[in-house]
Amino acid sequence: MADIIKLLPDHVANQIAAGEVVQRPASVVKELLENALDAGATQIKLIIKDGGKALIQVVDNGIGMSATDARLSFERHATSKIQKAEDLFNLSTKGFRGEALASIAAIAHVEMQTKPEADEVGTHLKIEGSEVVYQEVAVTPKGTSIAVKNLFFNIPARRNFLKSNQVELRHITDEFHRVALAHPSVAFHFYNNGSELFNLPADNYRKRIVHVFGSRTNEKLVPVEEETPIVKIKGFITKPEFAKKSRGEQFFFVNDRFIKSPYLHHAVVAAFEGLIKPDAFPGYFLYLQVDPGSIDINIHPTKTEVKFDDEHTLYAILRSTIKHSLGQFNVAPALDFDH
Ligand code: ADP
Ligand code: MG
C-alpha cells in the first residue's frame, strides 16, 4: 500500500491548536493580558469593541520585542519562557506553550507594534490568517500593543457560534477580573466601545478587590492568612451573612494564576459549615503560594486546572485556616489587616 500520512502545513496545525486555545474573545483577552504580565508590564490597557468581535487590543509597557522576535512570536512552539522539559516543573511565567499568538494569528487579523526600551525604533507587523501582510520599522513607544480584529473571520461556524456582544463582554470582564485580582500591583485600564469600564491603579490586595467589586465589598471581607511548609495562604473570605444563593465572587489563585478547583472550593464551603445555609455560597479571594515544583499546570491549554502533589493536605490546611479566620472574626470583628 502507498504511504498516505502527511505532516500538516503550519497554518493548518495552528488553526487546529486555535480550536482549543481560543474558544471566544475572552480567551484572546486572557492570553494577551498574560503575555503583557510576563513581559513585566506595570501598566496594561485593554480595549474592546463589540464584545471583542470587532477588536481586542492590549497595550503594555513591558519589555517589548526585537524585530526578529516579533516575527517569531507568531510561530507555533516559539517561546522565550521555557527552554527544556524540566522548566515545565519550575514555571514562574503565565505562558510557556508558545501557542497563543500562533493560534490567534491563524484565525484573526492581528496587528502588533512593539519596541524594547533600549531600541531607537520598533516594529510594526500585520498578520492575517497566519500570513504576514507586512513587517516594517516603526516609531512606537516602549512596550507592546497587539490588536486582534475579526476573530474567526475564516471559521464561519465559530464566528456564528459567538453569543451577543453583551454576553461576550461579560466573559471578557470575568477574565479581566481574574487577571486584575491576581496582580494588584499592576495598573489596568479597560475600555469598551470607547467608554472606560475600569481604571485600576496599582494597589494592595484589599483595595484592588474593592476597586473591582465596589466600595460596599470592603465591609464584607474577613482576612485570611497562614503559612505552612507546603503552602502560604493570603486573602479574604466574605462574612457568613453575605453568603449568596448564586455562585459569584469566588476566586482561587495559585502562584498568581486564577484556577478553578471544585475540590478546594469544597474545603472553603466546609469551613463555613453551620454558619451559612447549606444552599448558600461564601465569597472568597484566596491567594495560595506553593512550590512551583509541587504543581502541574500543563493539564489543559487554558491552564485553569492545576494538579497538586498533595491535594488532601492542602484541603485540610485550607479548611482549618478559614475556620480559624472565621473564629477570629467572631471574637474580634474589628480586626482588619491590610495586605
Ligand atoms: P507563550 O506566552 O506561551 O510563550 P505566546 O504565543 O503567547 O506564547 O507568545 C510567544 C512569545 O512572544 C512569548 O514567549 C514572548 O517572548 C513574546 N511575547 C508575546 N507577547 C508579548 C508582549 N506583550 N511583550 C513582550 N513579548 C511578548
Ligand atoms: Mg502567552
pLDDT digit string, tens, across residues 2-24: 999 999 998 888 888 888 889 99
CA distance 145 to 17: 23
pLDDT at 331: 46
Q: Which ligand is nearest to the CA of 63?
A: 1
Where does a domain end: 171, 200, 229?
200
pLDDT at 332: 45
Q: Is 96 in the pocket of ligand 1 (CB under 6 A)?
A: yes
If asked whether residues 43 and 121 sit together in one domain, one would say yes
Please name the amino acid found at residue 58. V
Q: Is 125 in the pocket of ligand 1 (CB under 6 A)?
A: no
pLDDT at 209: 98
If asked whether residues 222 and 194 sit together in one domain, one would say no
If asked whether residues 250 and 295 sit together in one domain, one would say yes
If asked whether residues 149 and 286 sit together in one domain, one would say no
Q: Is 35 in the pocket of ligand 1 (CB under 6 A)?
A: yes
pLDDT band for position 339 (cuts 50, 70, 90): very low
Q: Is 22 in the pocket of ligand 1 (CB under 6 A)?
A: no
Q: Which ligand is nearest to the CA of 104?
A: 1
If asked whether residues 47 and 178 sit together in one domain, one would say yes
Mean pLDDT rounded to a whole number for the chain: 93
Ligand 1 atom 25 nearest Cα: 64
Res 164 pLDDT > 60: yes
Any idea what DSSP says for residue 129? Answer: T
Structural domain contains residue 315: yes
pLDDT at 334: 45
User: In sequence order, which residues have a C-beta less than 8 Å from that of residue 122 and are 6 or more positions away?
Assistant: 64, 113, 114, 115, 116, 137, 138, 139, 140
Q: Is 97 in the pocket of ligand 1 (CB under 6 A)?
A: yes
| Short-list 200, 190, 211, CA closest to 49 | 190
pLDDT digit string, tens, across residues 97-126: 899 999 999 999 999 999 999 999 999 999
* The model's pTM: 0.94
Q: Which ligand is nearest to the CA of 82?
A: 1
If asked whether residues 112 and 19 sit together in one domain, one would say yes
Three-class DSSP category at 79? coil
CA of 30 to the centre of ligand 1 (A): 13
Ligand 1 atom 8 nearest Cα: 98
Own/partner contacts of 70-74, CB < 8 Å, gap of 24 or more, are 70/112, 70/114, 70/123, 70/125, 70/135, 71/125, 71/132, 71/135, 73/101, 73/112, 74/101, 74/102, 74/105, 74/110, 74/127, 74/130, 74/132
If asked whether residues 192 and 227 sit together in one domain, one would say no
pLDDT band for position 328 (cuts 50, 70, 90): confident
If asked whether residues 250 and 133 sit together in one domain, one would say no
Domain extent at residue 288: 216-331
Considering just the CA atoms, what is the radius of gyration of the chain in Å?
21
Q: Is 73 in the pocket of ligand 1 (CB under 6 A)?
A: yes
Average pLDDT over residues 302-323: 94
Q: What is the DSSP string of 256-293?
A: TEEE--HHHHHHHHHHTBTTB-TT-B--EEEEEE--GG
Q: Relative to the CA of 146, which ligand 1 atom is closest?
A: 23
- For the chain, what is the domain count? 2
Q: Is 98 in the pocket of ligand 1 (CB under 6 A)?
A: yes
